[in-house]
């Protein structure tokens, strides 16, 4: 091979195929690196999102549970929160809990309940009827209005309350039907008084063999009482005019409309100073921002009478919820202080 041939062989373009392979390999490994990097970034971001989602929903769920516990301390006569479970998804969660109540010394099931929560406001919400009622009767006469029974979603009578400073043309008197209830039953019944009493006065008024479950506290301002009174007058005027399809204002208070003090704890045992938890809850929650802050502020203002704190002497009782069997509750018939009575849950004694 002469010198020209050697030079031609030296500079001949034989490296192009190998160079293409190198580029293809480089591209392949670059894609692999990008995929792995994307997977790692996605995994890390997903982990962070999931941790944020879980921790945020867990906090919201616990806050919701605390809110319910405080609410049941001052409201929901003779009803207690039992087992509960938080079910967290993505963005939203749901708190499932059961409630129970005491008839004498017997606890009975009160209902299944759900509360949703979310850190995205537009997603958080319950659609449909969340009143907890099986149905709401529509009454078109005075007689049917005052004799109507309202049932919750579990078929229990919803107790009614009548404010002593409001003049009603009719009062519910379920104590009159106690004799019709069997000897093997236990029940609860709300008693609306003729006027307000102190806690100590009420304790002495209720027979000892009857379970005093709950005190109805006077949390009403003068304007609220005036509004109830004006609604009552509208009902009477509507009935006298005998006009068709009149809309009847809700003057009767139902058990979810009233506030008060539990006399027994969640184990069914008597509480020595029942007013303490009620006062402490209102006093502590009024300063904490939340869904019910305005309610606690209003209750505090009404009960404290613009003082710096609520005292036992500020608590006036308008009625109670009591429970027991037929033989014990019949002792309440014709008591001078009972203006109205409304039957609640009824269950087998054994």
pLDDT the model gives residue 31? 87
Confidence of residue 245 (pLDDT cuts 50, 70, 90): very low
pLDDT the model gives residue 144? 55
Q: What are the tens digits of pLDDT across the range 97-108?
A: 999 999 999 999
Average pLDDT, the chain: 84
Residue 185 is given by DSSP the state E
Average pLDDT of the segment spanning 323-339 = 94
Please tell me whether residue 243 adopts helix, strand or coil conformation: coil
Which of these ranges, 14-18, 52-56, 72-76, 120-124, has the smallest mean pLDDT? 14-18
The DSSP string of 190-212 is EEEEEEEE-HHHHHHHS-TTSEE
pLDDT of 43 above 80: yes
pTM of this structure: 0.80
pLDDT the model gives residue 287? 72
pLDDT of 129 above 50: no
The DSSP string of 20-73 is HHHHHHHHHHHHHHHHHHHHHHHHHHHHHHHHHHHHHHHHHHHHHHHHHHHHHH
């Amino acid at each position: 091979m002469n010198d020209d041939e050697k030079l031609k062989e030296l500079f001949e373009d034989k490296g192009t195929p190998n160079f293409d392979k190198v580029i293809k390999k480089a591209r392949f490994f670059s894609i692999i690196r990008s995929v792995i990097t994307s997977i790692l970034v996605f995994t890390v971001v997903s982990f962070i999102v999931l941790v944020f989602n879980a921790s945020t929903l867990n906090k919201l769920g616990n806050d919701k549970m605390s809110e319910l516990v405080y609410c049941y301390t001052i409201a929901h006569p003779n009803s207690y929160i039992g087992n509960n479970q938080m079910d967290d998804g993505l963005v939203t969660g749901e708190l499932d809990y059961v409630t129970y109540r005491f008839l004498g010394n017997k606890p009975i099931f009160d209902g299944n309940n759900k509360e949703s929560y979310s850190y995205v406001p537009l997603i958080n919400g319950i659609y449909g009827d969340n009143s907890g009622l099986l149905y709401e009767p529509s009454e078109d006469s005075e007689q049917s209005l005052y004799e109507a029974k309202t049932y919750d979603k579990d078929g229990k009578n919803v107790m009614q309350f009548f404010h002593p400073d409001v003049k009603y043309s009719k009062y519910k008197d379920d104590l009159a039907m106690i004799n019709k209830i069997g000897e093997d039953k236990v029940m609860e019944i709300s008693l609306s008084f003729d006027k307000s009493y102190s806690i100590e006065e009420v304790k002495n008024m209720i027979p000892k063999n009857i379970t005093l479950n709950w005190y109805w506290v006077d949390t009403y301002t003068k304007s609220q009482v005036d509004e109830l009174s004006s609604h009552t007058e509208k009902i009477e005027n509507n009935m006298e005019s005998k006009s068709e399809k009149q809309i009847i204002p809700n003057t009767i208070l139902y058990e979810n409309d009233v506030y008060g003090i539990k006399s027994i704890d969640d184990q069914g045992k008597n509480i020595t100073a029942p007013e303490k938890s009620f006062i402490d809850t209102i006093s502590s929650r009024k300063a904490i921002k939340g869904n019910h802050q305005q309610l606690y502020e209003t209750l505090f203002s009404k009960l404290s009478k613009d003082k710096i704190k609520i005292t036992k002497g500020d608590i006036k009782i308008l009625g109670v919820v009591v429970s027991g069997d037929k033989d014990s509750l019949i002792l309440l018939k014709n008591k001078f202080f009972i203006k109205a009575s409304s039957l609640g849950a009824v269950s087998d004694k054994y």
